[in-house]
Chain A
Amino acid sequence: MTEQEFIEKMQEEVLDTDSEIVLDMALTDVEEWDSLSFVSFIAMAKESGFTNVNREAVNKAVTIKDLYELVK
């Protein structure tokens, strides 16, 4: 998954936001990052073929870039 594809998926499928999302953003600064977007991220990752992405891995993520590392 390219960085552009990832950002688009994050905006549309995971966060459902029209706010700008960039890789170095801290997840704590992303208003839409909540329990629903958390499970949506795992679902998006699995649908994209990254079946090893789990709660534990996502819990360790601090920034958007950390999430990208799980699916790139």
Chain B
Amino acid sequence: MGRVQYDFSGERFVVTGASSGMGRAVAKELAAAGATVLAVARREDRLVALQNEFTGQIVPSALDVCDSKALSEAIASFVKTYGKLHGAVHAAGIFSSTPLRAYDEDEARKIMDISYWAGIRLMQIVNKKKNAEDGCSSVLFSSVAAAVGEKSNFAYSSAKIAMQAAVRSIAKEIYQRKNRINTISPGWVHTEMTRNEDENSALNKKFYDWHLLGIGEPEDVTGMVLFLLSERARWITGTDVVVDGGYLLGGYN
């Protein structure tokens, strides 16, 4: 089988949720492909560790992604120092059970704030002419949970389908400068977040079996993210791309 390698030399991206899981994997792969990455997350020690892996290519910014002012200032500072952005990835998110009969409303709202509202604000900041090169491409993490309901996950599923709906609208606002925006919907991927959920949720074990190609690894998803960020995806906008190991097929016979 052939190998695909991306060259993002001289290009600049912002990645949220960059301290762990999918966000970290995307930031690493972008840096490995030559990009300069503004890595946003709350945990500074993890960002510094990432920076040490890719000296000069990871610019850490420890902040709460829901703090719009801090996010805006961090991006403005990055743009001033390194130049306008070529793209953005919103991978920040939390996964937490919200059973209808006993859900924690603060937790449910937090899921929406981080996954959805912070992503919307990021798109507003990133797509300003002063911050982005024409043709800027953004990818936001949705999920197969947007399409298939699982017990005790209504808040997570709602946030993820909201993201897809928003992208279809925003794409029509930003296309004039060839800017693009898409969501990606991974199936179950081995990350710190999903490991925690494996231990604490009421997920039906069939959920795992329905991934015909097995449970994914972060690098099974990052390739599609980099493709959507790249010039090769220049005709793709306002849509959702599923990368789920066959999960949405609904199981095997």
Contacts and interface: CB of A to CB of B under 8 A. Distances in A.
A12 interface: yes
A12 B128 contact: yes
A3 interface: no
Interface string B216-253: 00000000000000000000000000000000000000
A18 B173 CA distance: 18
B190 interface: no
B129 interface: yes
B151 interface: no
B129 A17 contact: yes
Interface string A1-43: 0000000000010001110000000000000000010000000
B130 interface: yes
**Binding site of B, secondary structure by majority: helix, strand, loop or mixed?**
loop
Chain B contact-residue range equals: under 10
Contacts of A16: 128-129
Contacts of B130: 12, 18
A17 to B, nearest CB: 6
A29 B173 CA distance: 21
**Binding site of A, secondary structure by majority: helix, strand, loop or mixed?**
loop
Interface string B121-145: 0000000111000000000000000
Contacts of A17: 129
Interface in B161-195: 173
Interface centre among A16, A17, A18 (most CB of B within 10 A): A16
Contacts of B128: 12, 16
Nearest to B124: A13
A22 to B, nearest CB: 18
A2 B8 CA distance: 43
A28 to B, nearest CB: 18
Nearest to B129: A16
Contacts of A36: 173
A62 to B, nearest CB: 24
Contacts of B173: 36
A36 B128 CA distance: 14
8 contacts: A12-B128, A12-B130, A16-B128, A16-B129, A17-B129, A18-B129, A18-B130, A36-B173
Interface of A: 12, 16-18, 36
Given A17-B129, A36-B173, 6 more contacts: A12-B128, A12-B130, A16-B128, A16-B129, A18-B129, A18-B130
Question: Ordered nearest first, which 8 A-B pairs have the shortest CB separation?
Answer: A16-B129, A16-B128, A36-B173, A18-B129, A18-B130, A17-B129, A12-B128, A12-B130
